[in-house]
Chains A and B, each alone.
Chain A
Amino acid sequence: MSAATLVESRLERMWQPRPGVLGWLLTTDHKRVGLLYFWTTLALFGAGGVEALLIRTQLIRPDNHLVSPATYDELFTVHGITMIFFFIIPMTTGAFGNYLLPLMIGARDMAFPRMNALSYWIFLGSAIFLYASLFGGMAPNAGWFDYVPLANGKYDPGAPIDFYCLAIIFNGISSTLTAGQFIVTIFKMRAPGMSFNRMPLFCFAMLAASFGLLFALPALSADTIFLFLDRNVGTHFFDVAHGGSTLLWQHLFWIFGHPEVYILIVPAFGIATEIIPAFTQRRVVAFPLVAIAELLVVFIGFGVWAHHMFATGMPTVQVVFFSAATAVVVIPSTIQVFAWCMTFVTGTAEFRTPLLFIAGFIFMFVAGGLTGIMFLAVPFDQQVTDTYFVVAHFHYIIFGAAVFPIFGGMYFWFPKVTGKLYFERPGQISFWLLFLGTNLLFFPMHIVGLEGMTRRVYTYPSGLGWGAENLAETIGAYLTAAGILALLGNLVWSFFRGEPAGPDPWHGATLEWTIPSPPPEYNFAVIPKVSSAYANWDEEDRAEDRRKLAAAQLVLDRGHEAPVASPVDGWFADVMQMPHDSPHPPLLALALSLVFTALVLHKFVLAGVFVVACMVVLAAWHSQEPEFE
C-alpha cells in the first residue's frame, strides 16, 4: 500500500461519523450540517411557495373569495417571513456557506463545529415554532414588517403577534451563531498560505453577509423584545399616549431591514462570482474591486434604512440624507455588475445551466436595481409606497437576484455534493421556465402598481382594468412553480441516474474541485498549498500537494486536527483539535425551544426553569475538553 493510501485510510478512520440516524443527529461535520440546512430550507421554500400560489390564486380575478380575508392576511405574512428568514438566509449561509466555505478556504471544519450544529438545530426549532402557529390558526397576520399600532395588543390581540416576536428572536439566535462562526472561520481557519487577498470571492461575500447579520440582527431583536413587552407586560415603547413612538418600531425594523436586503443578495453575488470564472475559464475582472464592493455594499447598506419611511413625514433634512445615501449604494453594486459582464465578454462563455441562471440573475438584478433607483426620487416614492410597484421591485431583487443564483449554485455544486452529473437539456428547460415564469409573474406588478393597486389587498373590484395583469401574474406564478419542480425533478433523477462526475467536471477555480466528489469526511488529506484565489488552476501547487501526500507530509493525522492560520497573512499559527460528535447541540436547541414555547403560552416561570436547563446543558457541553498534547 502506498503512503498516500495509508494516510487516507488513517484519516478516514479518525474522522468516521457514527452510522445511521444518530450520525446525523450528533454530527458536527460542516458538510452534514450544510445538507441538513439544505433539506430543511427546501421544505420551507415549498411551504412559502404554496402560500405564494394561494395568494396569486386568490388574486386571479376581481371579487374572488377563494380564501377568507383573515387567512389571506396570514398567508402573505407567513410567506414573507418564511422566504426571508427561513429560506434565503439559511439557504445561502446555512446550506451553501456551511457546505462550501471550509472547502474553499482549505479547512477541515468550521472554527466552532458544535456551535455550527447548534445553529442548525435552533433554526429547525424556530421553523417548527412558526409553522405550529400556522397550523394552530394563530399565524402572524400583520405583514412581515409588522407595523405598530396595527400589531399592538389593542388592534391585534392574542397569540399571532407573540408568535411573530418570538419566532423572529428565536431564528435570530441561529443566524447570529452562524454569522459569528463564519467570521471566525474565515479569519482563522484558512489553509496556511491563503492570505486575505488569495481568498475566493465567495468567501468575501460570506464575510460581508456575516458582518451584516451580526450587526443588523440586534436591532430587530431589540424591536421585537419591545413589542413583546408592550403586548404582554404593559410597557409603552410604541404607545404615543404614554410618551412612546410608533416610528421607533419602523426605525429599528429598517435599521435591520435594509442591511437584510444585502444579507440576502450578497451571498448570491458570491455564488455568481464562483460560477462565472468556471464557465468562462477566466479570472474575474477587477478582483480587488469586486471584493471591496461586496463588503462596501453591506457597509453602506447600514446607512440607508429610512428610505423605507419616506411616506412617514420625516423632516426634509433626513429625507434628503437618506435619498443621497441610497444613491451611493449604486456605486459598489454597479462595479460588480460591470465586472461580471466584462468577465463574460473577455472570457469564453459556455452557457451551461448554472451560467444561464447567472445571466438571468444579472438581467433581473439590473431590472430590479433600476426601479430601486427610482425610489430615491422622494416624490415618486411617496406616490408608489405600498403599491404593487414596490412588490414588483423587491421580488425582482429577491427572486431574481437572490434565488436565481441559488438555483444556479444548486446545479453548479450538485456534482461536487453527490458525485453525479445533472442532465443538461432538462436543466436548461427549467431555467427558461423559471425565467419566463418569474418575468410574467413580476413584471405586470409594475403596471398595476402604477395604476394604484395597493399591496396586501385581499381582492379588488372589476372595472379597474387590473384583471388582465393579475391573470397574467397568476399564470406566471404557476409557470414558476413548474420551473422549480422541473429543477428539483432533474436533480432527483440525476442523483439516481446521473453519470459519475469525477472530482472536477467544470475545471472550477477553487479548492473544493481539488478533492473527490463527494468530499471525504476530513475534506483535505494534505493541507493544500495556496498561492492565488484560483487555487485549482495553479497546477504546480496541486502537483506539490500530491508529492506531499505521497511523502505523508503536512497531513495532520494525529487526531481530529485542523490547521489554524494568522488572520490576515495566513501564516501557519497553530494546530487545533476539533471536537467529535456531540449530543449537546440538539439538546440545547430542544431546551431553547421549550423556553420559547413557554413564553408564547405566557408561562414565564416555566420559561425561567427551561433557561436554567439551557445553562445545565451548556455546562455539560463545555465539560468535554479537547485533548491538548
Chain B
Amino acid sequence: MSVSDYVAGGRSERAARERRRGVSVGAWGIAMVIASEATLFGTFIGSYFYLRFHTVHWPPLGTPKPEVAIPLVMVAVLTTTSLPMQKAAWAAAAGRLWRTRLWLCSALVVQLGYLAYELRDLVAQLQVSTPQDNAYASIYYVLLVADHAHVAFGIVLVLWLLWRLRSGLTAYRANATQVAAFYWHAVNLLTWIVIGTLLSAAA
C-alpha cells in the first residue's frame, strides 16, 4: 500500500516516515532512568548532610578523614570517557561501525581502569574503617559503593554494546549507543557530586 500524503498534526505520514524528528523514545526512557537514579542519590546525599549536621565531630573522632587528591584525579580521569562515548554515539549515527567500536573500546579501557583502582582502594579503606564503625562510615560506604555500582553497570552496558555490534550497525544499535552515552554522562556527573560530598568531610 502506498504511503498517503494525508496530513496529521501538521505533518504528512510520508514526511514522518522519511525523516525522524525530535528526541527518540529510547532517549526519553533513559531520561526517566536518570531522573529516578538522581533522586535516589539526592536522598543519599541529603541523608549524609542530615547526619552530619546532627553530629559534633565529622568524621567522628578515631575515623580517618577521607583522602582528597587521588579521588579527585580519578574522577577527572573517569570524566574524560564522556568524550569517547559521545564520539561513539555520533559515529554510530553516521553508520561508521569501526569508529564506533574503537571509541567504545577506548572508553572501556579507562572505565575498567578506574573501577579496578577504586575497588582496590575500597578494599584498602575497609582495612582502616568499616561501615559498622559509626553512622558516618555507614553513609560514606553506601554512597561510595552505590556510585561504583553505577560505574560497573555502565561498563556492562558498553560490553553489551560491543557484543551487539559484532554483527554490524542498525538504527536500533545506533540509538542504543546514544542512550549508553547519555547514561555515562549522567554517571560521570553523579560521580563528581558523590565524591564532592564525601570529600566535604576532609575540610
Instruction: Give me the interface of A with B, judged by CB distance under 8 Å.
Output: 111-112, 176, 179-181, 183-184, 187-188, 191-194, 214-215, 217-219, 221-223, 225-226, 229, 233-237, 239, 242-245, 248, 251-252, 255, 527, 529, 548, 551-554, 556-558, 563-567, 569-576, 615, 619, 622-623, 625-626, 628-629
Contact = CB atoms under 8 A, between A and B. Distances in A.
Among A112, A221, A235, the most chain B Cβ lie within 10 Å of the Cβ of A235
Nearest to A193: B9
A229 B142 contact: yes
Contacts of B54: 243, 245
B135 A571 contact: no
A557 B1 contact: yes
A572 B138 contact: no
B13 interface: yes
Given A229-B142, A573-B16, A188 B28 contact: yes
Contacts of A219: 39, 43
A551 B9 CA distance: 19
A176 B38 CA distance: 13
Contacts of A575: 13, 16-17
A111 B40 contact: no
B102 to A, nearest CB: 22
Contact of B47 (A222, A236, A242): A222
Contact of B9 (A552, A570, A576, A628): A570
Given A192-B9, A236-B135, A252 B25 contact: no
A252 B16 CA distance: 46
Interface string B7-38: 11111110111001111110011001101110
Contacts of B22: 566-567, 573-574
Contacts of B139: 237
Interface of B: 1, 4, 6-13, 15-17, 20-25, 28-29, 32-33, 35-37, 39-40, 42-44, 47, 50-51, 54-55, 60, 131-136, 138-139, 142, 156, 160, 163-164, 170-173, 176
B21 A235 contact: no
Contacts of A112: 25, 29
B29 A571 contact: no
A493 B6 CA distance: 45
Contacts of B12: 572
Contact of A222 (B28, B32, B43, B164): B43
A183 B33 CA distance: 12
Given A252-B43, A622-B176, A243 B28 contact: no
Nearest to B39: A218
Contacts of B44: 222
B43 to A, nearest CB: 4
Given A112-B29, A237-B138, A529 B1 contact: no
Contacts of A252: 43, 47
A565 B28 contact: no
A551 B135 CA distance: 70
Contacts of A619: 160, 163
Given A180-B29, A214-B32, A218-B36, 18 more contacts: A112-B29, A180-B35, A192-B9, A217-B36, A223-B43, A235-B142, A236-B134, A243-B55, A244-B135, A248-B51, A252-B43, A563-B16, A567-B22, A571-B11, A572-B8, A574-B21, A575-B13, A575-B17
A564 B25 contact: yes
Given A233-B131, A235-B138, A244-B135, A180 B60 contact: no
A615 B156 contact: yes
A242 to B, nearest CB: 5
Given A180-B29, A180-B33, A563-B16, A243 B51 contact: yes
Contact of B8 (A183, A192, A225, A569): A192
B28 A111 contact: yes
Contact of B170 (A111, A572, A625): A625
A243 B60 contact: yes
24 contacts: A112-B25, A187-B28, A192-B9, A193-B10, A214-B32, A214-B39, A225-B142, A229-B131, A235-B138, A236-B132, A236-B134, A243-B136, A244-B51, A245-B135, A255-B43, A529-B8, A567-B23, A569-B9, A571-B21, A572-B8, A572-B9, A574-B21, A574-B22, A629-B17
